Structure formats: structure tokens, C-alpha cells
Structure 1
Amino acid sequence: MVRRAFVSAVLLAAAFAPASARADFRLCNNTNTRVSVAIAYTDGKAWLSEGWWNLRPTACETLLRGPLAAQFYYVYAMDERGGEWKGKAFMCTRDREFRVDGREDCFARGYERTGFFEIDTGRDAKSWTVQLTDPNAAPAQ
């Protein structure tokens, strides 16, 4: 009888234990216009860039599912008004949906060469969320 009560208590505790948190790379569009997003990353050997995710205003989207595999990720985004979030890390892209292996010889391979900004997630991060904001918006009062 004591043994059965112990097993029941352990099973009950397991049923109410908090679920493990999801580990993903997410991006949130905290602007008032639709934003198109591309991401690039490396596994230490090869580069991959992919896009496009179209996020409506105030929406979030998971770009990569699962625990982060790298410390650095690269993002490029543009809004409907021609605004951009860009940087100096050049990757291959195209106007329509894409998934490109490698970051060299973009033009020769029929792609555009686009500047992405760097995200340093730290060495031990398992998940990360990027918040895109409108740089021209007035600060909240």
C-alpha cells in the first residue's frame, strides 16, 4: 500500500511539472507595417540563407525551430515603405522565396548580394527573439 501511494505521488508530480520551454529563433515585428524577413547562419562549415517570412504588424514568427546551433545569426528585413534593417554581412538572396547554400559568388550564381545585420546570441543561448522596431517612430511617453 505504501509503495502504491509513492508511485501515485510521483506520477501526479510528473503530470503537473512545468513543460520544458521551447528553444527557437524568433523574430517579432513591432512596427505598424508588414515586414519581410530573411535569415542566414552557419553550422561552422557551410553558410545558409533563407527567406522570406512576411510578418504583419505586431506579429511574431519562429524562423528556426529547436535549440540554437550557433552563436551568431544574421537578419535582413524590409518593410512595405522601403525601410530596411541591414548590415555589413553580405549573403545571397532573391526576390522570391529562397534557400541558398553558401555566401560567395552571389551574382554569378543568379542571386542578389544583400547586407544582413549580426545577432550575437551568446555562447549558451538555447533560444532568442529579435524585436524589430521602427527607427523613425517617436518614443512612447
Structure 2
Amino acid sequence: MRSLRVISSYSLVLATLCFASGAAFADFRICNRTEARIGVALGYKDGEHWTTEGWWNIPAGTCETLVRGTLIARYYYLYAQDYDQGGEWSGKAFLCTRDKEFTIQGIADCLARGYNRTGFFEVDTLDQKNWTVQLTEQNQTPQGLRGPNLQLGPNLPNQKKQ
């Protein structure tokens, strides 16, 4: 995990609702609208329990479904890193990750449990059944809000520095 946190060279199109004509589906997707390969980690609360998962390796110009079916949470948390050019999409919601493929239960004491403590950004799906997040490079024309939403949602517990 790189310690350098660079988000200034990127902008994030936070959310784009994606509706298929005539098709009834419910997924949480991420689209890589950059010219680089990216790695993505996802965090969410399922009832009373926090889970983080990673890594989805998404080639340039493609989309990947991270959650198939009905979304179990309103708020999802994403962290993405650019494998080819450096930089990342990050935020102020700290969750546990590791360098290799992972599914981690809980968000407390990441370092003490042998994990990395990583800053995720929040995505508010507004309780929609289907949601797509598009990550873009700064020089591309955004299709929505610019910059990551760094506010914590009401479902994220207070974060303490570790």
C-alpha cells in the first residue's frame, strides 16, 4: 500500500444513476473512465456489522459490478488506486484493508489486527436499487459533481486515529 495520498490529479464523478430500459436489476457498479488500470476496495455496513472487500482490478474504460442484486446499504465506501500513473481516490472514512485480496469484518483496530488503515470516500445511493460510480481523470469532462464527497454518513461510527 502506498503511503502517498494524491487525489488532486483526479476528479470523481460521485454517482450516476444507471437505468436499463425495460430491465429490472439492482447492482452497485464502478466504471473506470481513465486510461489506467485501477484497484478498488469497497466498504459497507450490513446490519450491525462492517465489511471491507478488495481488490477489484478494473482495466481502463471498463465497468465492474461490486455488489450484485439488491443493495443492502444506503451508504457504500470506496477507495481506488491508479496502478499505472499513481494517485488514488480516497476520503476521510477509515476502514481496514490489506495489500492482497481480502474480506475483513469490522473496522476497529485495523493496525493492531495486522491490516492497513485506509481512507475511503462515501457514496450515498439515496436508497436506490441500482447505482454506478464513475472514476475519471481530471482532464476529462465530468458528468456530475467534481471531487470526492468527504463527509461521513450517519451510519459510520466516529473514527479515532490509530
The TM tier, using the shorter chain, reads 0.7 to 0.9
Aligned ranges for residues 1-141 of structure 1 at < 5 Å? 20-80=23-83, 81-123=85-127, 125-135=128-138, 137-139=139-141
Report the Cα distance in structure 1 between the residues aligned to 2:27 and 2:92, rounded to whole angstroms: 24
Where 2:70 maps in the other structure, the secondary structure is: coil
1: distance between equivalents of 2:120 and 2:46? 17
Where 1:82 maps in the other structure, the secondary structure is coil
CA distance in structure 1 between the aligned counterparts of 2:56 and 2:46, rounded to whole angstroms:
21
Which is higher, the Rg of structure 1 or of structure 2?
1
Secondary structure of the structure 1 residue equivalent to 2:126:
coil
Please state whether the residue corresponding to 1:129 is helix, strand or coil.
strand
Larger helix share, 1 or 2: 1
Corresponding letter in the other structure for 2:69 = G
Give the SS at the match of 2:109: coil
Deviations 1:6-60 (A, max 9, x none): xxxxxxxxxxxx8642211100000000000000000130000000000110110
The one-letter amino acid paired with 2:114 is G
Identical columns (%): 57
Gaps of 5+ in 2: 1-20, 143-162
Partners of 2:135 and 2:140 in 1: CA distance: 15
DSSP 3-state at the match of 2:47: coil
* Paired residues, number: 121
Kindly report the root-mean-square deviation, in angstroms, between the aligned alpha carbons of the 2 structures: 1.6
- State the TM-score, normalized to the length of structure 2: 0.71
1:69-94 deviation digits (Å, cap 9, x = unpaired): 11100000000222100000000000
